[in-house]
Chains A and B, each alone.
Chain A
Amino acid sequence: MPRHSPLVLAAVALALLAAGCTSDKPAATTASQAPDAPASSAQAAGTGAQSKFFVQADYDAQLAMRSQAPQGPADKPWEQAIAPQMVSTADHKKEGPYEICFSNAAVNNPWRQVGWKTMQAEVALHKEIAEFTALDAEGKDDKQISDIAELQAKGCDALIISPNTTATLTPAVKGACAEVPVIVFDRGVETDCPVTFIKPIGGYAFGADAAEFLVQKVPAGGKILALRISPGVDVLETRWSAAKVAFDASDLEVVGVEFTDGDAAKSKSIVSDYIQRHGKIDGVWMDSGATSVAVAEAFEDAGLPVPPMTGEDQQDFLRKWKDDGLTAIAPTYPTYQWRTPIIAALKILKGEEVPKVWNLPQPKITQENLDTYLQPNMPPLHYALCGCESLPGFPENWGGKKE
Chain B
Amino acid sequence: MRRALPILAVLAVLLAAIAIANPFFLEPAGFLAFVRRAAPLVILAAGQYFVIVSGEFDLSVGSLVTVEVVVAARLIDGNEGATWPVLALLIVIGLLVGLVNGVVTTILRVPSFITTLGMMLVLSGAVFLWTGGAPRGALSETFRVFGRETGWAVLVLAVMAVAAALIMRADFGRTLVATGDNERAAALSGVRVARARTLAFVLSGLAAAVAAILLGGFAGVSAQVGQGLEFQAITAVVLGGVVLGGGRGTVIAAMAGAFTLEALFTLLNLYGISGALEFTVQGVIIIAAVAAGALRLPFLTPQRVKGDAHAAS
Q: Give Cα A109–Cα B222 distance, bound, in whole angstroms.
A: 10
| Chain B residues whose C-beta falls within 8 Å of the C-beta of A267 in the assembled complex | 219
> Which of A114, A265, A269, A294 has the most B CB atoms < 10 Å from its CB?
A265
CB distance from A358 to the nearest CB of B (A): 26
Q: Give Cα A364–Cα B134 distance, bound, in whole angstroms.
A: 24
Binds A, one of B135-143, B179-187, B242-250: B135-143
| Chain B residues whose C-beta falls within 8 Å of the C-beta of A276 in the assembled complex | 22, 24, 30, 33
Task: Give A256-308 interface residues, CB cut-off 8 Å to B.
Answer: 258-259, 261-265, 267-269, 272-273, 276-277, 290-291, 293-294, 297, 301
Q: Are B134 and A381 in contact (CB under 8 A)?
A: yes
Q: Give Cα A184–Cα B24 distance, bound, in whole angstroms.
A: 51
A-B contact pairs, 25 of them (CB 8 A): A108-B133, A108-B223, A109-B223, A110-B134, A258-B275, A263-B219, A263-B222, A263-B227, A264-B225, A265-B219, A267-B219, A269-B37, A277-B270, A291-B222, A294-B219, A297-B148, A301-B148, A316-B220, A379-B136, A379-B137, A380-B136, A380-B138, A380-B221, A399-B132, A399-B136
The 8 closest A-B pairs by CB, nearest first: A264-B219, A110-B134, A265-B219, A113-B133, A113-B134, A264-B222, A379-B136, A294-B219
CB distance from A113 to the nearest CB of B (A): 4
**With an 8 A cutoff between CB atoms, is A107 at the interface?**
yes
| Chain A residues whose C-beta falls within 8 Å of the C-beta of B22 in the assembled complex | 276-277
CB distance from B133 to the nearest CB of A (A): 4
CB distance from A303 to the nearest CB of B (A): 10
Contacts known (A272-B33, A276-B22); A265 close to B225, Cβ less than 8 A: yes
User: Which residue on chain A has the smallest CB distance to residue B24?
Assistant: A276
| Chain A residues whose C-beta falls within 8 Å of the C-beta of B266 in the assembled complex | 273
> Which of A108, A258, A293, A379 has the most B CB atoms < 10 Å from its CB?
A379
Q: Are A294 and B227 in contact (CB under 8 A)?
A: no
Task: Give B118-140 interface residues, CB cut-off 8 Å to A.
Answer: 132-138
Task: Give B205-241 interface residues, CB cut-off 8 Å to A.
Answer: 215, 218-225, 227
| Chain A residues whose C-beta falls within 8 Å of the C-beta of B137 in the assembled complex | 379-380
Contacts known (A110-B135, A379-B136); A294 close to B269, Cβ less than 8 A: no
User: Which residue on chain A has the smallest CB distance to residue B133?
Assistant: A113
> Which of B33, B222, B275 has the most A CB atoms < 10 Å from its CB?
B222
Binding site for B on A (CB under 8 A): 107-110, 112-114, 116, 258-259, 261-265, 267-269, 272-273, 276-277, 290-291, 293-294, 297, 301, 316, 379-381, 399
Q: Are A113 and B221 in contact (CB under 8 A)?
A: no
| Chain B residues whose C-beta falls within 8 Å of the C-beta of A277 in the assembled complex | 22, 270
CB distance from B215 to the nearest CB of A (A): 6
Give which listed residue, A262, A265, A291, contacts B218 with CB less than 8 A: A265
Q: Give Cα A293–Cα B221 distance, bound, in whole angstroms.
A: 10
Q: Are B219 and A316 in contact (CB under 8 A)?
A: no
CB distance from A112 to the nearest CB of B (A): 8
Q: Are A316 and B269 in contact (CB under 8 A)?
A: no
Q: Are A107 and B225 in contact (CB under 8 A)?
A: no
| Chain B residues whose C-beta falls within 8 Å of the C-beta of A263 in the assembled complex | 219, 222, 224-225, 227
Q: Give Cα A134–Cα B47 distance, bound, in whole angstroms.
A: 42
User: Which residue on chain A has the smallest CB distance to residue B40?
Assistant: A265
CB distance from A260 to the nearest CB of B (A): 10
Q: Are A109 and B219 in contact (CB under 8 A)?
A: no
| Chain B residues whose C-beta falls within 8 Å of the C-beta of A112 in the assembled complex | 133
